[in-house]
Structure 1
Amino acid sequence: MEGGFLSGQMLIAMPGIGDPRFERSLVLLCAHDHDHAMGIAVNRPIEGLTVPDLLERLEIKADADLDEDLVLLGGPVEMERGFVVHTDDYHAEHSLDLGGGLSLTTTREVLEAMGRRDPQPRRAILTLGYAGWGAGQLEREIRQNVWLTVEADEALVFDGDYDTKWARALGKLGIDPQFLSAEAGQA
Structure 2
Amino acid sequence: MKNSDPSYLKHHFLIAMPHMADPNFVQTVTYLVEHNEQGAMGLVINRPNGLNLADVLEQLRPDDTPPILCRSLPIFSGGPVQTDRGFVLHKTGVQFQATLELGELALSTSQDVLFAIADGQGPEQYLIALGYAGWEAGQLEAELVDNAWLTCPADSHILFDLPYDQRLAAAAERLGVNLSLLTSQAGHA
Measure how far apart 1:153 and its partner are. 1.6
Is the CA contact 2:97–2:110 (under 8 Å) kept in the aligned structure 1? no
In the alignment, which of 36, 41, 57 is matched to residue 38 of structure 1?
A: 41
Percent sequence identity is 39
Measure how far apart 1:63 and its partner are. 6.6
Report the residue type matching 2:37 in the other structure.
H
Alignment of 1:7-156 (within 5 A): 7-47=10-50, 49-59=51-61, 65-66=69-70, 68-99=72-103, 101-118=104-121, 120-156=122-158
Measure how far apart 1:50 and its partner are. 0.8
Measure how far apart 1:158 and its partner are. 2.0
Is the CA contact 1:72–1:128 (under 8 Å) kept in the aligned structure 2? yes
In 2, distance between residues paired with 1:155 and 1:55? 27
Alignment of 1:169 with 2:168, yes or no, is no
Alpha carbons of structure 1 residues 65 and 15: separation in structure 2 relative to 1, 3 Å: closer
Measure how far apart 1:23 and its partner are. 0.3
Secondary structure of the structure 2 residue equivalent to 1:2: coil
In 1, distance between residues paired with 2:171 and 2:9? 16
| Runs of 4+, deviation exceeding 6 Å | none
Is the CA contact 1:89–1:122 (under 8 Å) kept in the aligned structure 2? no
Secondary structure of the structure 2 residue equivalent to 1:30: strand
**Gap regions ≥5 residues in structure 1:** none
In 2, distance between residues paired with 1:162 and 1:84? 15
Is the CA contact 1:63–1:117 (under 8 Å) kept in the aligned structure 2? no
Is the CA contact 1:64–1:115 (under 8 Å) kept in the aligned structure 2? no
Measure how far apart 1:18 and its partner are. 0.8
Structure 1, residues 132-179: CA drift from partner, whole Å, max 9, x if none?
Answer: 100100011011111111111222212462222111111111011221
Report the residue type matching 1:17 in the other structure.
M
In 2, distance between residues paired with 1:160 and 1:149? 19
Q: How many residues align?
A: 184
Report the residue type matching 2:89 in the other structure.
V
**Gap regions ≥5 residues in structure 2:** none
In 1, distance between residues paired with 2:180 and 2:25? 18
In 1, distance between residues paired with 2:182 and 2:101? 33
Is the CA contact 2:75–2:130 (under 8 Å) kept in the aligned structure 1? yes
Secondary structure of the structure 2 residue equivalent to 1:31: strand
Report the residue type matching 2:95 in the other structure.
H
